[in-house]
Amino acid sequence: MNDVAAPAAQSWKVTLPCTRAEAEALDGDIAAFALMEHPPVLMTSEAEPDDENKWQLDAYFEGKPSPAAIKLLKTLVPSASGIKPQVEALPDEDWVTMSQQGLEPVTAGRFHVRNVASDPEQPGHVNFLIEASRAFGTGQHETTAGCLAMIDRMRSVGMRFRNVADIGTGTGLLAFAAMTLWPRAHAIASDIDPVAVDISRENAVANGIALGGGAGQLALCTAAGVDHPALVGRAPYDLLIANILAGPLIELAPSLCALVEDGGTIVLAGLLNEQADAVIAAYRAQGMRLAERSDRGHWPTLRLRKRPQIGWKRPRRINAAARGEAPGFGSI
């Protein structure tokens, strides 16, 4: 008898209204689903632009969600306690890819990012093709576009870097952009999600980005925070980019700053306006100063510079006891 693979379980989606505050509280792993063999993937979005009370939570389940799972989901968004969730079976297609198809190209600084191969390139720009995929970071989100615009301005004013790290890379886009601006730099990109790292590798090949460990080449690794020998071993960096979320940005501040040389630059994104002061304070405590802030809607991008300190030894390795982990946190 021939072995026949069991068909994959059909995906289901549960939709509930929520507030922006509730949406922002859903970063990282959700303890309520920790014991599930296949926990749902949670996505939040603005149901109505600029209305903090009208956001939406979409939870994607592998297989039909049980009443208990839906009840747990509702506990995450108390504002929807009296509302019946919308539960629907999805077509047998990749819902992440479907969610990203048809997106309009994005132009930020000198960069033009297409998500569909049939869209034309933009003359006079650095063009990237980041097709809809299993990972996130297609350039559509304000945080990614904000980072692209920030590093473009940095190059325009003559800033130069030779050793670059992109933490929480998603699709690899920000690392690719940095490498086109500083083509002789060493570069490494990491993500907590191995799928994102695989997608970044595929995108690098598709966009002509050289992979490897030398100058002008991109190294890739899977890591929680900066807990990986490849990340620590290549330090110190003169440019580090982290487009993740406010919580892990604050948690990782000591580890990220330890990997940056005196006078080096950190670009941070993934935080909301009201979270900026807390993030800035966490990095100031590690010897950083705010050099520039640029807001796109509710999403600021921060550029910070590490203050040279007389008597401080330039860090080559982070403290072995400080693992630099942020479990459950990945890219935007």
Is residue 206 a contact partner of residue 231, using CB atoms and an 8 Å limit? Answer: no
Find out whether 109 is annotated in a ligand binding site.
no
Contact partners, residue 290, CB within 8 Å, separation at least 6? 280, 284, 302, 303, 304
d(Cα 79, Cα 76) in Å, to the nearest integer?
9
Contact partners, residue 313, CB within 8 Å, separation at least 6? none
Contact partners, residue 270, CB within 8 Å, separation at least 6? 143, 168, 242, 243, 244, 245, 246, 249, 299, 332
Find out whether 144 is annotated in a ligand binding site.
yes
Spatial strand order in the sheet of 11-18 = 41-46, 55-62, 11-18, 86-89
Burial of 96 (0-12, 13-18, 19+ CB in 10 A): middle
d(Cα 210, Cα 186) in Å, to the nearest integer?
11
Find out whether 171 is annotated in a ligand binding site.
no
Is residue 270 a contact partner of residue 143, using CB atoms and an 8 Å limit? Answer: yes
d(Cα 213, Cα 230) in Å, to the nearest integer?
10
Tokens of 231: 């990340």
Spatial strand order in the sheet of 106-108 = 106-108, 111-114, 126-129
Find out whether 243 is annotated in a ligand binding site.
yes
Residues making up the annotated binding site for S-adenosyl-L-methionine are 144, 168, 191, 243
Residues making up the annotated binding site are 144, 168, 191, 243
